[in-house]
Structure 1
Amino acid sequence: MSPSAPSVPPAMDRPHFIGIGGAGMSGIAKILAQRGARVAGSDSRESETAAALRALGVTVHIGHDAAHLAPDATSVVVSSAIRPENPELAAARERGVPVVHRSDALAALMDGTRPIAVAGTHGKTTTTSMLAVALTALGSRPSYAIGGDLDAPGSNAHHGDGEIFVAEADESDRSFHTYAPEVAIILNVELDHHANYASMDEIYDSFETFVGKIRPGGTLVISADQPGAVELTSRVRDIGGLTIVTVGESEDADLRITKINPRGLTSEVTVVLDGRPLTFTVSVPGRHYAHNAVAALAAGIAIGAPARNLASALAKYTGVKRRLQLKGEAAGVQVIDSYAHHPTEMAADLEAIRGAAGDARVLVVFQPHLFSRTRELGTEMGGALALADASVVLDIYPAREDPIPGVTSDLIIDAARAAGADVTAEHDKQAVPEVLAGMAKPGDLVLTMGAGDVTDLGPLILARLGS
């Protein structure tokens, strides 16, 4: 079945999204609107995403109020971040309106398509975006749902009239168990999301369940280098009807990377494909992004894209908002935004920037994300910040969590200082532009880093530096 004229499930005909401005929620809302559904929702604040949704005819309310739920709403879509006491959710339950989890809504959108689901502790958004951009460049007209904007607000999702649907598959709340992909990518497997996973065994069990959802005759693309992925591969080898393609720099990788040649803010990558070298450009810096591109290449080949054409098309990917995104330059200082919030991601982005920056100083404004993550990984976060020349550490961004006694940014700051890092604590986020103005010198690079609202500081820092 081609999705060129997909039907909208009855429950999705007039959906109401709580938290519609979120990356995952807004993408689903956008696709439904493009398919002809009458979409409404609410969010806590105005945003460019809200404006982009309104441009599609979506009704977006600011603030949460039971009155926002239309009398004829056919469902209420929620994510795991929505609390039970939300007034719109309470009203839906009182009125008997079906409550649909975000993952179930996305799974319904994939019906009748050939899905590619991208999973892993890190790199999902980038790899999903690479595939979406490359397959679009090849004329495949894919639909896609991504956890970040490609180049403009609202560009995190699209309804295409081709048969392929590329989706980011989130393991944080086990919601990726809902999907049944034809091709799945697993980039890495590490312990994270400590509110939902107590051990690596639980993580492995969750990823095994995801692999078990791959359609019969489907393909798993998985890292041959990352220890957690290697362990998972050993656990799923015996699943019948599954083709496993390993990718990486390991000698035994099925799609082996033989060279990653950094070239400023790009890389040239060579792989061995069918016994012959294939070299292509990755238009973002860093070894981890090169690995993401090779995983995307393998998945695209598995779904039927011509390998060499796909490799060339991957060069058209130039980044996702918040993934080492250049925000601007003022007074000779470049400001770059990074979504990194796990120690592995932080270290990878800092190493990538160091590789591209030469002798320039790298200054970081880091905002920890979640109390539970800081409690479990604060020491490792501090160690990652030691890769910067100097850092400013903000208070923890709580997101969906309540405070945990004794868990503060001091856990990170103390660990960073123990590792020899130059770290400043700053409890007033609004004071950061002035602090950076006193630290930064022409030629420096400033990274705003974290998954919370630290991203808002980039333009303010640039304005202060330019004043």
Structure 2
Amino acid sequence: MTTMSPPPCGFHRGHLPGLLERPHLDTAEPGPTGLAQYLTQAGSRLSAPSGTVKALGLPHNAVRIAEQPAVDRTCVIVPPAACDHPRAATATSPDLPALTSGEAVALLVDVAARSVVVAGHYGTALPAALAVSALAHLNPAWVVEQPPGGRAPGHASGGDLLVAVLPSPSAPAALCTPTVLLVTGVARTATDSAEMDQALAMLMPLALRSKAVVVEQADLGARLLAERLTAAGHRRVVTVGSDSACEVRVVQALWIGVSRVAVSTGGEVYQFTLVTPGRHSALAAAAAFAAGREIGARPQDLASGLTAFPGIPGFLTSSTTHELPPGITVLTSLARSPEEIADDLDAAYELTDGKVVVLGDLTAYRPDQAEALARALAEASHVVLLAAPDDKHDGARTIAAVLDAGLRRENVTALRHGPCEPAPPAVLANLTAAGDIVLLLTPPPTGPETW
């Protein structure tokens, strides 16, 4: 048995709900990393199998190594698939409540005095990280996907403010009452009306419980959510976008080595700079700004916090993964949806007067996303697609569907496996010149959509 360190100084027991005082973590999926880090820092007596501890990179002195939950555990945190009905099913012990990581985060939200919760099927990482930075002067705690500056995704600050990423809930047990709910990409496929209706139905109960809801008007689902909330008489819906009708409006987003952003609200204009390019970065920052206003932060403090945002490692940052001739920049993309790919392409074009060539691994996308992927990739100067592991892999079907969905074949190079096939750097070197950009798309996570 591993000896656990005592809780850090400044920890307040009131910030830890009873169910999470002695949880057993029975999942090594990507999502629980930030949750587990937060819990250990907040004084939770967490236990987990040795494989989970290793997979999540948790410090051994903060976790009790246990392959099965002991009798003193307060709950078991399990993968979403293990819970047919939240808190009714259990993973390894019939006597313990079973929670998904999203439900555990919801419990943390409800014991926080103030909270900013970011929810959506995609597009949650950047606004959550920007919110952490914008609200830094308020000493926030957080459970997020990609924190600013490469910090840990989970942090228990001891303060009274929590910034968290929460899935669109699929059951009442996942509901909580955020101070501010910031909504990004509501549905995975905006053109699928049935999927959109289902996503809205899942999100509405959480939105109705939130004291204020901030929606990015660029997303169709968020616009529909705002309409439904207004029709339902929600007391506070804040719209963010470029349209003059938005309550918080981006009136300038100009790249000059940094992005110079101006936001108009309440008859006043506030300016800040961002290290991340792209209008979608400016809109995400405006959404974080709007959420901060609803928390009660001063606009000047929010603008200073956004200017201090150091970026997210891997989010449109330079990479040396592929050695290319001098003058060609390789940027990594954290996009995990066709909409985010389109946003990152737009941002890449802000940085160059030359070509933007995409090197993409699309094997983790679904075949029914092919049309949306093709529309997003059509903006690239050229697309180089990495091969699926084999022809029977689902990714091979996705690649074939993308090629059949309207991309111009002369603008696509589909790589194949084989000793005589050229390596990606050789292909890219023939397609690019000094001043061009290669946008490197990595596979989206295959774990829970919410993380």
Alignment partner of 1:393 out of 385, 408, 411: 385
1:44–1:70 Cα change, 3 Å: closer
Amino acid aligned to 2:411 = A
Q: State the Cα distance separating 1:353 from its structure 2 match.
A: 0.8
How do residues 101-250 of structure 1 correspond to structure 2 at under 5 angstroms?
101-113=100-112, 114-136=114-136, 138=137, 140-152=138-150, 155-171=152-168, 177-192=174-189, 198-214=194-210, 218-240=211-233, 242-250=235-243
Please name the residue that 1:446 is paired with. Answer: 438
Matched, 1:379 2:371: yes
Rounded to whole Å, the distance in 1 between the matches of 2:417 and 2:315 is 25
Matched, 1:347 2:342: yes
Please name the residue that 2:244 is paired with. Answer: 251
1:159–1:233 Cα change, 3 Å: same
Q: State the Cα distance separating 1:183 from its structure 2 match.
A: 0.8
Rounded to whole Å, the distance in 2 between the matches of 1:151 and 1:293 is 16
Please name the residue that 1:295 is paired with. Answer: 287
Q: State the Cα distance separating 1:201 from its structure 2 match.
A: 1.7
Q: Any idea what SS the aligned residue of 1:230 has?
A: helix
Rounded to whole Å, the distance in 1 between the matches of 2:379 and 2:39 is 43
Matched, 1:40 2:42: no
Rounded to whole Å, the distance in 2 between the matches of 1:144 and 1:68 is 28
Rounded to whole Å, the distance in 1 between the matches of 2:26 and 2:174 is 22
Rounded to whole Å, the distance in 2 between the matches of 1:21 and 1:204 is 26
Q: Any idea what SS the aligned residue of 2:292 has?
A: helix
Gaps of 5+ in 1: 61-66, 455-467
Post-superposition Cα deviations, 1:243-263, rounded to whole Å, max 9, x if no partner, equal 122111111111122222122
Q: Any idea what SS the aligned residue of 2:403 has?
A: helix
Alignment partner of 2:63 out of 58, 61, 72: 58
Identify the range of structure 1 (228-237 vs 419-428) with the bigger mean alpha-carbon deviation. Answer: 419-428
Matched, 1:414 2:404: yes
Does the 8 Å contact 2:355/2:381 carry over to 1?
A: no
How do residues 272-283 of structure 1 correspond to structure 2 at under 5 angstroms?
272-283=264-275
1:335–1:185 Cα change, 3 Å: same
Q: State the Cα distance separating 1:14 from its structure 2 match.
A: 3.1
Rounded to whole Å, the distance in 1 between the matches of 2:72 and 2:156 is 22
1:38–1:381 Cα change, 3 Å: same
Please name the residue that 1:27 is paired with. Answer: 34
Q: Any idea what SS the aligned residue of 1:233 has?
A: helix
Post-superposition Cα deviations, 1:418-467, rounded to whole Å, max 9, x if no partner, equal 47532314458x9999322342256343333144479xxxxxxxxxxxxx
Please name the residue that 2:68 is paired with. Answer: 69
Amino acid aligned to 1:253 = C
Q: TM-score with structure 2 length normalisation?
A: 0.81
Q: Any idea what SS the aligned residue of 1:446 has?
A: strand
Does the 8 Å contact 1:382/1:413 carry over to 2?
A: yes
Q: State the Cα distance separating 1:226 from its structure 2 match.
A: 3.6
Post-superposition Cα deviations, 1:121-148, rounded to whole Å, max 9, x if no partner, equal 4321110111112212x2x111111122
Please name the residue that 1:362 is paired with. Answer: 357
Rounded to whole Å, the distance in 2 between the matches of 1:193 and 1:224 is 13
1:200–1:43 Cα change, 3 Å: farther
Q: State the Cα distance separating 1:77 from its structure 2 match.
A: 0.6
Query: CA-atom RMSD, angstroms?
Result: 3.7
Higher relative contact order (CA closer than 8 Å, sequence separation 6+) = 2
Rounded to whole Å, the distance in 1 between the matches of 2:417 and 2:26 is 30
Does the 8 Å contact 1:180/1:213 carry over to 2?
A: yes
Q: How many residues align?
A: 424
Matched, 1:437 2:412: no
Q: Any idea what SS the aligned residue of 1:247 has?
A: strand
Rounded to whole Å, the distance in 2 between the matches of 1:339 and 1:396 is 19
Please name the residue that 2:4 is paired with. Answer: none
Amino acid aligned to 1:13 = E
Please name the residue that 2:20 is paired with. Answer: 12
1:380–1:193 Cα change, 3 Å: closer
Does the 8 Å contact 1:103/1:178 carry over to 2?
A: no
Amino acid aligned to 1:109 = L
Please name the residue that 1:315 is paired with. Answer: 307
Rounded to whole Å, the distance in 2 between the matches of 1:433 and 1:36 is 53
Rounded to whole Å, the distance in 2 between the matches of 1:191 and 1:151 is 27
Identify the range of structure 1 (342-351 vs 111-120) with the bigger mean alpha-carbon deviation. Answer: 111-120
Post-superposition Cα deviations, 1:222-256, rounded to whole Å, max 9, x if no partner, equal 13444332222121114446212211111111112
Q: Any idea what SS the aligned residue of 2:423 has?
A: helix
Does the 8 Å contact 2:276/2:311 carry over to 1?
A: yes
Amino acid aligned to 2:367 = R
Post-superposition Cα deviations, 1:67-121, rounded to whole Å, max 9, x if no partner, equal 722534613212325599xxxx98714x534322212211222233111111234
Gaps of 5+ in 2: 1-9, 447-451
1:233–1:7 Cα change, 3 Å: closer
